[in-house]
Structure 1
């Protein structure tokens, strides 16, 4: 038997299908790398415009598919992961409208489009992605309703406008909301995912185990939040907010790296001063394990390990939002007794690199004698008097420190900290590079501090007798009037615009923090403490399953009742027809559930020959219900009114059998 051909789409149904798939594609494009997102979005618009009027030949479809695959792979540098897979999905969805001509094509496109918002959540779980994804899913359901109306060819069904159709979808989504909420709050969670999701092909910005000149340019240009910190009491001055991260000690002439073996040693001896700051850190996801804390942390939080140099790392990569409660205090002394092995590590320099810097540092040592602090002050005075700060620096050569100190004399924190530590080591002073963040921006809406990725910073620590490791920030020694690339250097009009927009951005970040706390931060530990206000300290997995089963079952029962009730009473003509049958049932002439309208009317006419009005109404109902082109919305409303108004004549009731 030959398969029945799928009916063609009309213009309205095609428009609904294209609009729904486009809205589904938008949140996914926003999460892709800029060039890939713009390229795929532009191609999607061109494909939709061309395919609206012409049928694209098969060879051109193949060329477009190959071009998209090449764009995606080149953008991801042929690395396979979540980014590459999601970009490939977006590319195929952008190309799918070339096949949009029949009802089957429309349903295929809409079904495929639903994958896009779900794929978005593999890359981002923010509120904007959720809202855009829900909007796309709602439009897809509305478009599927439109296709169902087209297939039924019922004028009464096609009469409702787009807002009525969207309202129907909203009601359906509201019906399923209680079950979704029960699953979110009560379905037992575990610490790690059930499935192995590969890491993203494009790494998220974050602090690294290494520091190489020029490596931080992308990080310093990223104004997205890295941390949100709320102090439980007084906050330190902004200039004292040094957020300690990885400590780098190995130097090969170009790059600085960590000494991993220090992670296995207990934290060095330290005495803390006052005041003690207590605060909560909310760290945005990154592909690293590094945990930063205000200098100097008193202890590592649960699930975090503190190394000998007071840098901290988590047990697993911070691929999701994490939150810790910490306490810190400024150090009075840090490792006042330096072991010979540690001293040698903090003095080591590679042979054959930066001869001019090494020679100058040794000269300073001869002139200063045993006064290490004098050498530190001399270096800072040199930087303060002759150096400037800028991100626009040329790529360093073999002798990077020599080029920076004696030729360029301009750069940013990577250059200053690296050159400072090299000079100190060459002068015989143990020194190391510390990376992390500095400062923060106060959000008055939520009473917390935002530390952005562009606040990433590198400074130095030198070891001085009697004090141990002492923080020295050579970048801060640069004269303020010589610093480039700051907000003050923006055109005044642009700066005023940023100031005016600041309340809006602050409010948006406060909303995002609330989302993080309410949704993304709801992990297994918080779920187990869900009923603490009711006196239940901890819910076991079995208790969660019982509670979820009870509330989920109640939600399902409510959903089924609403759906069944809606099916009975949704259409006004059907509702009026059933009420008419109920009126005749009071006279013993009710319509049986299995009985067609024509047969029922024949039975009524046999008992009541004068019921000609019922016969006319029944004929009109059959045409409306079953005939193609049975009438418009106006005639359907008129039929419903007449069915409701009709009353059987009680005086002609049939005699009941004795």
Structure 2
């Protein structure tokens, strides 16, 4: 038996399918790296335009698919992960329209397109991604409904039909909304995903376990939020807002790395000053484990480890938004006694690197004697007098510190902190590099502080006898305005448009924070406290399951009632006509589904000769249904009323007529 060929798509249905596909693809493209997203988006538009007019040959489709696979894999450096898979999905969806010609092709394209909004949520769960993904899903479902009507032979081409299709999809979504909300609020949550999600092939911008001068350019150009902080009580000045991250001690002549084994040691001895800052910190996802805190944290929150050097690390990668309550206080002393092994590690320099810097440091030591403070101040005076701040720096050579100190004399925080610590170590002063963030800007709408990724910073710590580790920020010596800058600090007339947009930006960020708190921050702990306003302090998992089952059952019953109600005939005349047929069915004379009205009436009259009223109603119904095009509203209401009022004649037919 030959397979039936799928009918061709009309121009309107093709346009609907293409538009729905593009809207589904858009939120996924926005989460891909900039060049990859723009390239795939441009390719999707080009393919849609070409395939609208021409059939692309099979060999060219295959070649295009292979080229895209190679491009995506090379861009991700052949590392497979969430972003690689999502980029591959976007690329394949971009070229799928080359096959859009028949009804089957349309269904295939739209079914594939529906994967894109859901893949977006693997990368981002923000309100914009939700809105765009929801819009794409609605259009795709409406387009599928249009294809179903096309296959059934119903006309589907005008604006009224499009509005009706969208309204139908909206009603279906509204029917399922109570069950979806019940599942979100009450389905028992667990601490880890039900299935393993591979790490992203390209990590999101954030702090790392290493620092190489010149490699923070992308991070320093990213103005997206890294964390949001809301203080309870005392608020530090902006100059005190040093958000401590990884502490780097090992230097190989080019890069600084941390000593992982220090994370297993208890926090170093310290004495805290005042005030004590108490605050909530909300950390944006980075897929890494680094947690920052205001110097110095008093303790570690649940799920976070406090290392010997007071850096903090989460037990699991920060692949989703996390929120903690923390306490910090400025240190009076930090590790006032330094053991021989830790001292040696804080003085170690690789052989054969930066000979000019080493020689200069040794000369300063001879001239300063035992006065470590004089050496530090001399270095800071040199920076203030001869150096400049810039992000436009050449790639470092073998003797990176020598090149920076004696030739370039300009750079940013990585260069200054690295050169400062090398010079201190060469002079016999224990020193190390600390990375993190500095500063922040205040959001008046939400009464909280925003620390951006571009606020990433590196500074130095030097060790003094009796005081321990003391922060020294050489970058602040050359460009303090770069460390603590905000929009308010800009000179008059600078970036006036940005200043005018500040309230809008602040309001947008406040809305995003509200979304994070309301949706993304709804975890298992908050779920268990869901009924506190009703006097129930905590829900056990068993109680949650019972409550979910009860409300889920009610939601399902509501859905079934709405569906059953929607299945009723909406036209009052048709509804009254079908009810009339059910009345006669009680006498064994019901109308069959395939039976025309005239033939049914003849059969009823043969059994019940007195059913002349039914014959008159049937004639009126046939004229209304087939001859009058629906007639006027008054005649339709009168017919429906008469049909509802009619009752079967129960007088049986005479014996001789049977």
Q: Indicate whether the TM-score tops 0.5.
A: yes
- Cα pair 2:239 2:484 within 8 Å, conserved: no
SS of the residue aligned with 1:123? coil
Structure 1 length normalisation: TM-score? Answer: 0.92
Q: Deviations over 1:404-432 (max 9, x none)?
A: 11110000000000111111111111111
Please give the residue correspondences for 1:259-658 in structure 2 after superposition, counting only pairs within 5 Å.
Answer: 259-479=259-479, 495-569=495-569, 571-572=570-571, 575-582=572-579, 592=590, 594-595=592-593, 596-598=595-597, 599-604=599-604, 606=606, 607=609, 608-609=611-612, 613-619=616-622, 635=629, 642=636, 645=639, 647=642, 654=649, 656-657=651-652
- Cα pair 1:576 1:644 within 8 Å, conserved: no
> 1:538 and 1:221 mapped to 2: Cα distance?
45
What is the Cα deviation at residue 534 of structure 1?
2.4
What is the Cα deviation at residue 592 of structure 1?
3.1
What is the Cα deviation at residue 640 of structure 1?
10
Which stretch has the larger CA shift, 107-116 or 600-609?
A: 600-609
What is the Cα deviation at residue 287 of structure 1?
2.0
What is the Cα deviation at residue 614 of structure 1?
3.6
Alignment CA distance shift 1:521-1:351 (3 Å): same
> 2:305 and 2:74 mapped to 1: Cα distance?
38
What is the Cα deviation at residue 503 of structure 1?
1.3
Q: Deviations over 1:502-545 (max 9, x none)?
A: 11111111111111111111112222222223232322222211
Q: Deviations over 1:268-319 (max 9, x none)?
A: 1111111111000000111211111000111111111111111111111111
What is the Cα deviation at residue 29 of structure 1?
0.9
- Cα pair 2:580 2:646 within 8 Å, conserved: no
> 1:302 and 1:270 mapped to 2: Cα distance?
21
What is the Cα deviation at residue 352 of structure 1?
1.2
Alignment CA distance shift 1:204-1:139 (3 Å): same
SS of the residue aligned with 2:305? strand
SS of the residue aligned with 1:385? helix
> 2:26 and 2:257 mapped to 1: Cα distance?
40
What is the Cα deviation at residue 207 of structure 1?
0.7
- Cα pair 1:460 1:472 within 8 Å, conserved: yes
> 1:192 and 1:339 mapped to 2: Cα distance?
40
> 1:77 and 1:205 mapped to 2: Cα distance?
17
Structure 2 match to 1:23 = 23
SS of the residue aligned with 1:247? strand
> 1:30 and 1:326 mapped to 2: Cα distance?
33
Which stretch has the larger CA shift, 611-620 or 398-407?
A: 611-620
> 1:592 and 1:653 mapped to 2: Cα distance?
11
- Cα pair 1:297 1:327 within 8 Å, conserved: yes
What is the Cα deviation at residue 66 of structure 1?
1.9
> 2:167 and 2:482 mapped to 1: Cα distance?
61
SS of the residue aligned with 1:635? coil
> 2:195 and 2:613 mapped to 1: Cα distance?
71
Backbone CA RMSD of aligned residues: 2.8
- Cα pair 1:601 1:614 within 8 Å, conserved: no
SS of the residue aligned with 2:518? helix
Structure 1 match to 2:45 = 45
SS of the residue aligned with 1:234? coil
> 2:105 and 2:482 mapped to 1: Cα distance?
63
Which stretch has the larger CA shift, 641-650 or 115-124?
A: 641-650
Structure 2 length normalisation: TM-score? Answer: 0.92
What is the Cα deviation at residue 156 of structure 1?
9.3
Matched, 1:61 2:58: no
| Aligned positions, number | 646
What is the Cα deviation at residue 494 of structure 1?
7.2
Q: Deviations over 1:552-597 (max 9, x none)?
A: 111011001001101114x43xx42121344677798897374534
Q: Deviations over 1:115-169 (max 9, x none)?
A: 1111111111111111111111111111111112112223599884322221221
- Cα pair 1:291 1:313 within 8 Å, conserved: yes
- Cα pair 1:391 1:485 within 8 Å, conserved: no
> 1:84 and 1:637 mapped to 2: Cα distance?
61
What is the Cα deviation at residue 341 of structure 1?
1.7
